[in-house]
Amino acid sequence: VGIGFFPDVGASHLLPGLGGSFGMYLALTGNRIRYGDASWSGLATHTIKAQDQAGFLDRLVATGDPEAALRGFSVPARR
């Protein structure tokens, strides 16, 4: 997850809500985080394997239901 050279309007609204100093850390450093940290911080709610992306998108289009589409594709995030 990257936020570019500086936090824009969306990031400056979202990052302070991460709790602690994690949002400030991301804003000041511009460091990228992996999916485990995105899940831990609340930026991401689910993860899927890269090779399952096409199947997940097909199921999402077919069902129109994100929760149903995630069943069978969502995996625990590593940190």
Q: Which tokens belong to 69?
A: 């589409």
Q: How far apart are CA 51 and CA 48, in angstroms?
A: 8
Task: Say how many residues make up the chain.
Answer: 79
Q: Which H/E stretch holds residue 56?
A: helix 53-63
| 1 pLDDT above the threshold of 60 | no
pLDDT at 57 (0 to 100): 96
Q: How confident is the model at residue 29 (pLDDT cuts 50, 70, 90)?
A: confident
Q: Is pTM beyond 0.85 here? A: no
Q: How far apart are CA 77 and CA 73, in angstroms?
A: 12
- Contact (CB, 8 A) for 41 and 67: no
Q: How confident is the model at residue 5 (pLDDT cuts 50, 70, 90)?
A: low
